[in-house]
Amino acid sequence: MIEITIGAISKPMEAKKIKTGDWGTEYPVVDIEKCSGCKSCEMFCPDLCVEVVKENRKKYAVFNYDYCKGCGVCAFVCPEDAIKMEMKEIYKLEVE
């Protein structure tokens, strides 16, 4: 027996269940030293998976790899060039 709602009305924010982090072939790596905490990446990220946090007076970007699709927009918009897109291990080909 399953439960369905009247008129297919859905509860909010259930998309969180879907971890889209396995979509991308690349992932962003932030150089915390270079990061100025400007929030450009946070403002742009289409997948809402980067947040600027503050730790000991230092602001820097933290990524949530559960959802990151590896689009690379963050790396492109970062004014400090602090983000680099790295290829995920499983996609690295061994060339003999």
Which residues of the chain form contacts with another protein (CB under 8 A)? Answer: 2, 4-20, 23-24, 43-49, 64, 66-67, 69-73, 75-77
Which 3 state secondary structure label does DSSP give 40? helix
Q: Work out how close the CB of 88 gets to another protein at its nearest, in angstroms, rounded to a whole number.
A: 13
Distance, CA of 69 to CA of 77 (rounded, Å) = 16
Query: Residue 27's beta-bridge partner residues?
Result: 86
CB 32 within 8 A of CB 60: yes
Q: Work out how close the CB of 38 gets to another protein at its nearest, in angstroms, rounded to a whole number.
A: 11
Q: Cβ closer to another protein: 46 or 57?
A: 46
One-letter amino acid at 67 equals Y
Q: Cβ closer to another protein: 1 or 57?
A: 1
Q: Work out how close the CB of 50 gets to another protein at its nearest, in angstroms, rounded to a whole number.
A: 10
Q: Cβ closer to another protein: 54 or 57?
A: 54
Distance, CA of 53 to CA of 76 (rounded, Å) = 20
Q: Cβ closer to another protein: 1 or 96?
A: 1
Distance, CA of 27 to CA of 69 (rounded, Å) = 8
